[in-house]
Structure formats: C-alpha cells, structure tokens
Amino acid sequence: MGIHTDDFGAALAHYRAGRLDRAEQACRALLARRPAKRDALNLLAVLCCRTGRLEEGADLARRVLAAVPDDMQALELLGDALDALKDFPGAAEAFRRASVLKPGCRRFHAKAGAALYHAGRCEEAVEAYRAVIATGEATANDLIDFGLTLTKLSRTESAVEAFQAALKLAPRDGRAWLFLADQLAVMGRTEEAISAYDVVLALRPADAHAHYDRARLLHTAGRHAAALGGVDRALLLDPVSDRAHGLRSAVLWQLGRFEEAAEAARSALAIAPDNANALTNLGNALKDLGRLDEALETQRRALALCVASGQSMITLVNLGLAHQARGDDAAAVAALAKAVALAPDQHWPQFNLALARLRSGDLDAGWLGYGWRSSPSGLAHRIETLGLPLWDGRRVDGRVMLVAEQGVGDEIMFAGFVPKLVGAGVDVVLECDHRLAPLFARSFPGIEVIAREGAPAAPAGVVAVCPLGDLPGLLRPDRTVGPWLSPSYLAADVARRAALRRRYGEERPLVGLAWRTGNVRSGRQRTIALDRLWPLIDLPVRLVNLQYGDPDAIEREAAAAGVELLVDREIDQFADIDGFAAQVAAMDAVVTIDNSTAHLAAALGRPTVVLLPVDADWRWFSGRSDSPWYPDVRLVRQPRPGDWDPAIAQAIAMLQSMVGDAVLADATERVPDAVH
C-alpha cells in the first residue's frame, strides 16, 4: 500500500519520458483503487487521445466534469477530443465553458472560434476571435483564422484588415499574404492583389496554386502576356491541373493564338473530360479558326455540362457568339437573352446582347443596352465621367463634354453626330485622342476640342458629360432612314491633300488600300492576305498604301504578292492621323477591310468599299450593302467564312462605278471566272 501515493507521480514521469504504455498502466492501476482520481483521469484521457482513442478520451473527460464541472483541464481535453472527432458543436461548447471560467485565456477563445467556424456558426466565431484580440495576446494565426471567418461571411474589407494585422506580427507568413491577395482581388484592388501574390511567390516559389491565382488575376486584368508566363509556371509545378490548362487556353485565345488555345483546351479535357470551362474555351478557339460547325457543337456540349451544374451564363454567351459567327443573328440573340436572364446585373452578357440586337437591326433595344459597354470595376471598357452627371439629351444650363472612348475608329464614327448637336444649340466640348485633335479642330471649328493626354479634366462651364458612344442612343437614328451622318464631316488639310495628289500623279485614279488589322482577336477573320487582292493589280489605277505598319515590311509584302503599291514613307498612318487624313482625302476611292481607315475615309467623304467577313462587326449591321452611317460607303461581304474571292470581285465592280473611268470595265473582264 505504500506505493499508492507515488503512483500518479510515476505515471506522469513515464508520460514526460515518452513511455506512454507504462504511463497508461500506472494510471489504470491508480484508478482501479481510486476511480475518481481527477489527475489520473485527465492524464489517461490525454493518453487515449494521443493514441487515437478519441471516444474513450472524451468519456474520461466527461467523468471528470460530472464530478467537477469547472475543471478547465477536462473541458479543454473534451473540446480537443470532440474537435478531432469533428463534433464541432460539442467542441465549441466545451471551449466556451472553459473561456467563461478563464476569460483572459487566449487559447480557449481561439479554440472556440475555430470550432464555431467549422460548425458553420461564423457569427459566433467572429465574437470568439474578438475575445481573443481583447486579451491582447492574439497571434498571427489567430488573426488569419479571424480573417478567414470574416471571408466566410463576405465581410471582405474587415477580412483584409485582419490579414494585414496578422502580417504586422508575422511579415513573412505566406498564408496571410495569400489570403490577403485573394480578398484584395475580390474587392477589385487588382494591382494590390497582384503585388500580394508576388510576395506569396517570393516566400513560396513552388506554390502552384499561387502561380495559378496570380495568372488568373492578370488574365482578368487584361495583362495576358504576363498571365501566360504565370500559368506556364503553374503547369511546370502541377502539369495535371486541368484548371491551369483551361486558363492557359483562355489566355492564348485573348492573345490571338487560336491553334495553341485549342490545344491547351484539349489538354485540360484529356485530364477532366467534363471540364465545361475548357470545352467553352475550345469552342471559342475553333470559332476564331473558322471551324464554325465544330465550334457550335462544342459550345452545345459545354452548355449541357453547365446546365447540369447550374453555371451556364458564360457558355450561353459563347454559344450566342458562335451562332453570330455563322451569321445566325436570331439564334445569337436567343442564346444571349437567356444568358442575361441568368445574370441581369453583369455587363458581359448584357453588352453582347446589345451588340447582337444592333447587328440584327433592333435599334431601340440595342441602343438601350449599349451602355453596358462600360464597367465601373474597370475590368471591362471603362468610361471616365469626371464626377459629373451623364447628359440625358435634354437641354442643360451649361456645356456638355463629349468624352472620348474606345478606339480611333469609334471616335471618328461617333463624332459624326457633333454637327447635329451643334445645330440643335448644344454647347459642346469634344475630348478626343490627341492624334485626332488637329483634324477635329479643323472639322468642327465652332466647338472646343481637347486632346486627351494624361488625367482627363473638364473645362470651365461643363455641367454634364456624354460618352461619344451614347450619342446614337440619345439621338436614336432610324435604321430605315439614312445616312445618319453628314457626308464629308471631317475636313483634311487642303494644302497637304493637294501636294500629295501632285506627288502621287493624277494620270491614273488613286485607290487607297488597307488589308490588315492589328487586333489580335478579330484580326484573323477581318484581315485579307495581300496576295489575295491580286485582281486589283490589273485595274488601270494607282494603288496607294493606307496600311499602317513598318514601310519596309509593307514593301516586302507587296513585292512578294506581286502588287505594285505606292508606299509613302512620309506618312505615318498611326502617329500622324492629320497627315494620314490628307493622304486618304487625296484618294479617288478607297478599298479597305473593317478598320479605322474605313471610318476615316468615309468621314472624309471618299468613295469607300469595305470588305467584311461573315461575322461582321455590329456597326455594319446584317444583310445590307450600304451603311446607314456613311453615304459614300459600300459594303461587300464574304458569302462564306474565309471566302474572299467573290467579295473582291464585287469590290472591283464597285470601284468601276466609283472612279467612273471607262477603262475599268476592260480590266474587270480580265478577272478570272473563279474570282467573279
């Protein structure tokens, strides 16, 4: 009997020395004689939990608490055992009781917060973590867990503050940086989020998920080249990630590398055949490769998968665009309308539906939806309103500033409504791309023209702004009445035009030619290889280059195509638009694809033939050979995707009429039958 007083001490010594089996034997021997011995019960509970016998450990803790309800060691043991058993409500209750008994103990509050979080009781978990912070002893991990709980409740700004507080305690904690980056991205603080991901990867360079998340954010922000580098690094670390292959496909598509985009999508599908995002990416790539039947079928397969998962909005948009590429406007509108019904507050389906409606001639609905082109987040096209109200078309006491947006071609086209505004008595200030300022100032002498350089600012007296693209919707031109814009509303420099005509020679009609666009996404279908325009060679005209780009490269391209082309090195079609306007104005006619040259030539009143693909831009509408925008434009359309020969034959016939030279008729007869 003399050894009994030392039994617990011996058990504890065995435990501390790591001799768990002997510690358990000593505890059980003691409890056989003294079943209510609390120290022995608690130590045996610990031993059971450490050796995986969680239920027994929890029962032993309950035996202690039945006798002594405020035994904090037993409460913590019970909470730990129940937490490991995933009985989170029970664990939370045990830790709560312990924290009530010892409110200044950080550990009890933190464990209660974690159990409540896992139990789905996040509001209570938030209060537990606030109690942790109130102790003044919160650790970086406590603050990270607090931030994750706030994230679960969509309290993004507070979560960011929690992660930032964690980083003050542990500046090199990769988890805190990662969670901070995620929440900054949710808030739309894109550059800060990317910077945070950079820190994550400096700390954890082999983190494939962080590489992926950073690449995804770069892609969303439009920095596609950087995104490609990031997703490639993610795939080096995790080559069987179907989502990374899928992202790579989306990035390559944005870069206009459609063959590679299709291959990346197939890689994703080889890993996960039911990856709907990869399927819709494949459909997009096939569409832009001109494989329209395959594209449509692929989008339908993607839609079937998305409908099953309840996430079909994006695929419906892509299905609509696939229909549109085939020239089926009605099917496109139907698919896009379904996408809008699923996500009425998102700009992407709304804007694409507006464009489809405009292209099909549904102008009232189309102009109404065209405002969705602007995204306040800046992730889509963003329009700067300068903090002023948008003009609604009614008379105001002050000036209206027309805000430049989109590309040079859009600015030229929408500026055609300026004379109507001035004629209606609206006091207009016109902002524009700095390259257009000299041309616009000459063309609209009664208004103030501001070159957009640096941060925009409103001049004195401006009380409202109007994005240029809003003008058609406000003025509501009727599709059946045209043209909407005045002929020759832009005025080139007369002296420069005359000098160019003398230099180019007037013994033959001057026909300006542009055949390529630098747009990486739509350029493939709009661009025509110069050697396909060879029927123009036999016409008794002088072909003049209106194509922007490196003059040496253009001359080499023309020589390889066998096209005699005048390339004027004194004209910079990109940087000196006023000089380019004089060159275009010197032409007797212009043949061009759909690019900014088409708008400049039309606005200068030059007879213009625009060659359009089947999937033509909305502004040219469907099924017509004239343009309601410009009286001097004739439209020639591909009969089938990729088939330019019939369109080129039509262009030659139109040139004959435009230039009015009888000898053109003889040249037309020399074009081979295959081209007619």
Q: How crowded is residue 188: how many other Cβ atoms within 10 Å of its Cβ?
A: 15
pLDDT at 382 over 70: no
Taking CA 587 as the corner, what is the angle to CA 584 and CA 593, rounded to the nearest 5 degrees? Answer: 65
Q: What is the pLDDT of residue 666?
A: 41
Q: What is the DSSP letter of 389?
A: P
Q: How far apart are CA 111 and CA 129, in angstroms?
A: 9
Please give the span between the terminal C-alpha atoms of the chain, in angstroms, as a whole number.
117
Provide φ and ψ at 276, rounded to 5°.
-65, -35
Residues 208-213 have a mean pLDDT of 96
In tens, the pLDDT along 394-428 reads 999 999 999 988 889 999 999 999 999 999 999 99
Provide φ and ψ at 595, rounded to 5°.
-150, -170
Extract the tokens encoding 426.
Answer: 């609206």
Q: Report residue 93's pLDDT band, with 50, 70 and 90 as the boundaries.
A: very high
Q: What is the pLDDT of residue 251?
A: 98
Q: What is the pLDDT of residue 440?
A: 98
**Nearest by Cα to 572 from 599, 549, 606, 542:** 549
Q: What is the pLDDT of residue 375?
A: 57
Q: Is 365 helix (H, G, I), strand (E, B) or coil?
A: helix
Contact between 525 and 288 under an 8 Å Cβ cutoff? The reply is: yes
In tens, the pLDDT along 340-366 reads 999 999 999 999 999 999 999 999 999
Extract the tokens encoding 286.
Answer: 């096939």
Q: How far apart are CA 372 and CA 351, in angstroms?
A: 5
In tens, the pLDDT along 475-509 reads 877 766 678 998 899 999 999 999 999 999 988 99
Q: In 430-486, which residue ranges form alpha helices assigned H by DSSP? A: 437-443, 471-475
List, in sequence order, every residue forming a beta bridge with 462; answer none if it has no partner: 399
**Nearest by Cα to 639 from 608, 589, 676:** 676
pLDDT at 53 over 90: no
**Nearest by Cα to 13 from 28, 3, 24, 23:** 23
Q: How crowded is residue 436: how many other Cβ atoms within 10 Å of its Cβ?
A: 25
Question: What is the identity of the amino acid at 289?
Answer: L
Torsion sign across C-alpha atoms 408, 411, 414, 420: negative
Taking CA 270 as the corner, what is the angle to CA 268 and CA 274, rounded to the nearest 5 degrees? Answer: 75
Residues 628-647 have a mean pLDDT of 93
Q: How far apart are CA 666 and CA 675, in angstroms?
A: 15
Q: Is residue 608 within a helix (H) or strand (E), and if so which, with residue range? A: strand 608-612
The alpha-carbon radius of gyration of the chain (Å, integer) is: 36
DSSP secondary structure, 396-456, as one string:
-SSEEEEEP-S-HHHHHHHHTTHHHHHHTT--EEEEEETTTHHHHHHH-TTSEEEEE-SS-
Contact between 327 and 641 under an 8 Å Cβ cutoff? The reply is: no
Q: Report residue 4's pLDDT band, with 50, 70 and 90 as the boundaries.
A: very low
**Nearest by Cα to 635 from 661, 615, 654:** 654
Residues 96-118 have a mean pLDDT of 94
Identity of the highest mean pLDDT range in 69-78, 392-401, 580-589: 580-589
What's the chain's average pLDDT? Answer: 90
Q: How far apart are CA 543 and CA 462, in angstroms?
A: 46
Decide: residue 566, CB within 10 A, 0-12 exposed, 13-18 middle, 19+ buried: middle
Q: Report residue 64's pLDDT band, with 50, 70 and 90 as the boundaries.
A: confident
Task: Give percent above pLDDT 70 in the chain.
Answer: 94
In tens, the pLDDT along 310-341 reads 678 999 999 999 999 999 999 999 999 999 99
Q: How far apart are CA 628 and CA 510, in angstroms?
A: 26
Q: What is the pLDDT of residue 437?
A: 97
Q: What is the pLDDT of residue 672?
A: 40
Q: What is the pLDDT of residue 547?
A: 95
Question: Distance of CA 663 to CAs 509, 540, 541, 566, 655, Å?
Answer: 11, 7, 10, 21, 11
Q: Report residue 72's pLDDT band, with 50, 70 and 90 as the boundaries.
A: confident
Q: What is the pLDDT of residue 381?
A: 53
In tens, the pLDDT along 212-228 reads 999 999 998 889 999 99
By residue count, the chain amounts to: 676
Q: What is the pLDDT of residue 337?
A: 97
Lookup result for tokens 């004209």? 571
Q: What is the pLDDT of residue 661?
A: 46
Q: How far apart are CA 326 and CA 285, in angstroms?
A: 14
Contact between 56 and 48 under an 8 Å Cβ cutoff? The reply is: yes
Q: Report residue 554's pLDDT band, with 50, 70 and 90 as the boundaries.
A: very high
Residues 6+ apart with CB under 8 A from 130: none
Contact between 216 and 247 under an 8 Å Cβ cutoff? The reply is: yes
Domains of the chain, earliest start first: 313-373 (1.25.40.10), 399-475 (3.40.50), 494-675 (3.40.50.2000)
Q: How crowded is residue 522: how many other Cβ atoms within 10 Å of its Cβ?
A: 15
In tens, the pLDDT along 223-258 reads 999 999 999 999 999 999 999 999 999 999 999 999
Q: How far apart are CA 211 and CA 266, in angstroms?
A: 21
